[in-house]
Chains A and B, each alone.
Chain A
């Protein structure tokens, strides 16, 4: 595969559709035209299959374009350096991106959602200044270091250790342990790390939250091959890694509650884009399916039932955005829990359905389009990758426990 897209150097501000944001209709047209000018027509063909490095290069290129037009973090509030775009504007962005089948900036999800959700509520001014700017100005990639081989759903049992020491006059934490399931960990510049700082405290109480440089000595990253055949996740080995003490987020031993803010970002806002893309995909499925499987009334009913479920998730996302607008510091809400559980179940059911109605066509081995989110034009890969929503960030089973215990008030087991 030849890749003619230039590597990023310094980013010059390009003419941004945001110049037209006062008028929603004009903003839509400006954005549409920006996408047309910016996104190569044949990017999907060129990024069908390919190496991980090609994927990462394309992701960086795409993120650079979004940054240059100030679109990358336009959903951030103004005080975070974003544009504070309204709900209506964000829907327009997702619609236009999805309609044009523009790439999805999936390598930057932690940078754009989890990092700000964590730092805004719990970071110091210096941390916000350095690291939020790092995303906007340098395009820094962040990964999340929460799970461990023996701490998955039971995250609080994590054993990676961080000890505070003074080394050559420097105040540092020395970290040892192993992390796993870090999305795009092999491309990350920075890491949101949970590690144990108190071995004697109750398990949730002894955890601290750090910002770790992925290039620090002692960090080893190894990709994990998933059931799709691709390697989107990595395991990360930490061997006497030194973290400067100023990179502690919040207070020592208070990392667990801060981590809930990080996870809340995942349980809500990220799904906004995902479900809007799914809504557009439904329209495309109709175009493609009209002459084939839609003639089968049983399939059409099943599809309609999926449509009803999708509609409910879209409505719940809108409800959550209104809640966030009222109280930006709210952290997790019941609505976010429903969205995470509902979307994961829907995504899997939807992809299972599309795989089934596609017959043998979907059974043949073929490369998937990368950077296309859950719409890779490979039904089998889309289906298999849906587990990334049903297992990660709180598995369906954990989310059901949350609904049952925290919302319905059923007793803990």
Chain B
């Protein structure tokens, strides 16, 4: 995609989210008026579920630049749509799945007919036991992202011999019991699966160390982009508030103590955006963008969390109320810090590279 096409994609994503997912609807979602399923239908109808799959699967085969744009807009909108694990799964199958796996899953996933949940990287793996043409799984899969309403789940498993793999669970057919693990940030969802010697055909296993790496790259990019979108939006809302709220007979935005905090947040955001743009173009050019993506996630998620934390403070009493949107940004920002590798984990990736 060239720059113009990208800009057009960005515009159309923004327009859809502005009409289907404005902040007041997200606030109502928090109060139980579900926005998750309507949004899923929207993104499915618009073909966003096919963004990262190849054209032969009805997809658009879009690269990381287009994905970063999409994730940024989802962050801006605080969109409670369970899209990320599905897009990761379709990328994994497209890049690493064998012919059978692709034909079994990829079409349905790209079409949005089968929604995928994804166990977080770094979670405690299930125990994998291979026997002939089948495998058995033991244990509890925790921290499965967007499990609620999903049809498939890609869980992390490890054999006693040390083989790490992802295994595709068919949540209905396999008769697996799913539990929701409600999050403070209700724009995303976690769940867990208890598996007791679940026997599955060996074809359900996707293997190889590059798999976890690909998950880390895609997830890191997504959360970094989501964070820049969220940070930009909550900064704009905060600055707008400081320009209208009066105390002591003055606009509070004229107080230097508040101004300087906004300036520092803006600086951190601009820095994060520069690093993310660079990491995205390295990824798009098929260069090894690791640990540049780590740098992007550290910069973006830390800038977002600091900004969202301060936004509540800068809004004062109104920012501390349930009805104001500030806390939704704060909660999503705090979850973003932990999703797809904590700041400490990512700094360790960078440190290892520096010290190598």
Residues in chain A within 8 A of chain B (CB atoms):
282, 286, 290, 294, 297, 300-301, 303-305, 307-309, 311-313, 315-316, 319, 338, 341-342, 397, 399-405, 407-413
Q: Is B251 an interface residue (CB 8 A)?
A: yes
B350 touches A400 (CB 8 A): no
Instruction: Write the chain A residue with the least CB distance to B238.
Output: A408
Cα–Cα distance between A147 and B168 once the two chains are bound (Å): 68
Instruction: Write the chain A residue with the least CB distance to B269.
Output: A338
A290 touches B355 (CB 8 A): yes
The answer to whether residues A312 and B243 also contact, given A407-B266, A413-B255 and a CB cut-off of 8 A, is: no
Q: Which residues of chain B have C-beta atoms less than 8 A from A311's C-beta? A: 275, 278, 295
B347 touches A294 (CB 8 A): no
Cα–Cα distance between A303 and B344 once the two chains are bound (Å): 12
A408 touches B270 (CB 8 A): no
B298 touches A308 (CB 8 A): yes
Cα–Cα distance between A65 and B52 once the two chains are bound (Å): 55
**Which among B65-73, B210-218, B257-265 touches the partner chain?**
B257-265
A401 touches B274 (CB 8 A): no
Min distance, Cβ A273 to any Cβ of chain B, angstroms: 19
Q: Is B34 an interface residue (CB 8 A)?
A: no
B254 touches A413 (CB 8 A): yes
Q: Which residues of chain B have C-beta atoms less than 8 A from A404's C-beta? A: 259-260, 262-263, 266
A312 touches B354 (CB 8 A): no
Min distance, Cβ B15 to any Cβ of chain A, angstroms: 25
A342 touches B271 (CB 8 A): yes
Q: Is B85 an interface residue (CB 8 A)?
A: no
Q: Which residues of chain A have C-beta atoms less than 8 A from B19's C-beta? A: none
A315 touches B275 (CB 8 A): yes
Instruction: Write the chain B residue with the least CB distance to A305.
Output: B347
B274 touches A303 (CB 8 A): no
B299-321 CB contacts (< 8 Å) to partner A: 299
B260 touches A307 (CB 8 A): no
Cα–Cα distance between A403 and B267 once the two chains are bound (Å): 8
A294 touches B355 (CB 8 A): yes
Question: Ordered nearest first, which 7 A-B pairs have the shortest CB separation?
Answer: A312-B271, A404-B259, A403-B263, A400-B263, A304-B350, A315-B274, A300-B351
B267 touches A315 (CB 8 A): no
Q: Which residues of chain A have C-beta atoms less than 8 A from B347's C-beta? A: 300-301, 304-305
B262 touches A408 (CB 8 A): yes
A338 touches B271 (CB 8 A): yes
Cα–Cα distance between A399 and B259 once the two chains are bound (Å): 11
Cα–Cα distance between A319 and B266 once the two chains are bound (Å): 17
Q: Is B256 an interface residue (CB 8 A)?
A: yes
Cα–Cα distance between A110 and B299 once the two chains are bound (Å): 34
Q: Which residues of chain B have C-beta atoms less than 8 A from A410's C-beta? A: 239, 242-243, 253-254, 259, 262
Min distance, Cβ B269 to any Cβ of chain A, angstroms: 10
Cα–Cα distance between A308 and B243 once the two chains are bound (Å): 32
B212-262 CB contacts (< 8 Å) to partner A: 239, 242-243, 251, 253-256, 259-260, 262
B354 touches A286 (CB 8 A): yes
Q: List 30 A-B contacts (CB under 8 A).
A: A286-B354, A290-B355, A297-B348, A297-B351, A304-B347, A304-B348, A304-B354, A305-B298, A307-B354, A311-B275, A338-B270, A341-B267, A342-B267, A342-B271, A400-B260, A400-B264, A401-B260, A401-B263, A403-B262, A403-B266, A403-B267, A404-B259, A404-B260, A404-B262, A408-B266, A410-B242, A410-B243, A410-B259, A412-B254, A413-B254
Q: Which residues of chain B have C-beta atoms less than 8 A from A301's C-beta? A: 344, 347-348, 351
The answer to whether residues A401 and B256 also contact, given A312-B271, A312-B299 and a CB cut-off of 8 A, is: yes
The answer to whether residues A411 and B266 also contact, given A305-B347, A315-B274, A400-B260 and a CB cut-off of 8 A, is: no
Q: Is B145 an interface residue (CB 8 A)?
A: no
Cα–Cα distance between A403 and B264 once the two chains are bound (Å): 9
What 19 new A-B contacts, CB under 8 Å, besides A304-B347, A307-B354, A338-B267? A297-B351, A301-B351, A308-B275, A308-B295, A308-B350, A312-B271, A315-B275, A316-B271, A341-B263, A400-B259, A401-B259, A401-B260, A403-B262, A404-B262, A404-B263, A408-B239, A410-B243, A410-B259, A411-B253
Q: Is B272 an interface residue (CB 8 A)?
A: yes
Q: Which residues of chain A have C-beta atoms less than 8 A from B256's C-beta? A: 397, 401, 413
Q: Which residues of chain A have C-beta atoms less than 8 A from B271's C-beta? A: 309, 312-313, 316, 338, 342
Min distance, Cβ A322 to any Cβ of chain B, angstroms: 12
Contact with A along B274-285 (1 / 0, CB 8 A): 110110000000
Min distance, Cβ B231 to any Cβ of chain A, angstroms: 13
Min distance, Cβ B184 to any Cβ of chain A, angstroms: 26
B239 touches A409 (CB 8 A): yes
Cα–Cα distance between A226 and B190 once the two chains are bound (Å): 58
A304 touches B260 (CB 8 A): no
B354 touches A319 (CB 8 A): no
Q: Which residues of chain A have C-beta atoms less than 8 A from B348's C-beta? A: 297, 300-301, 304
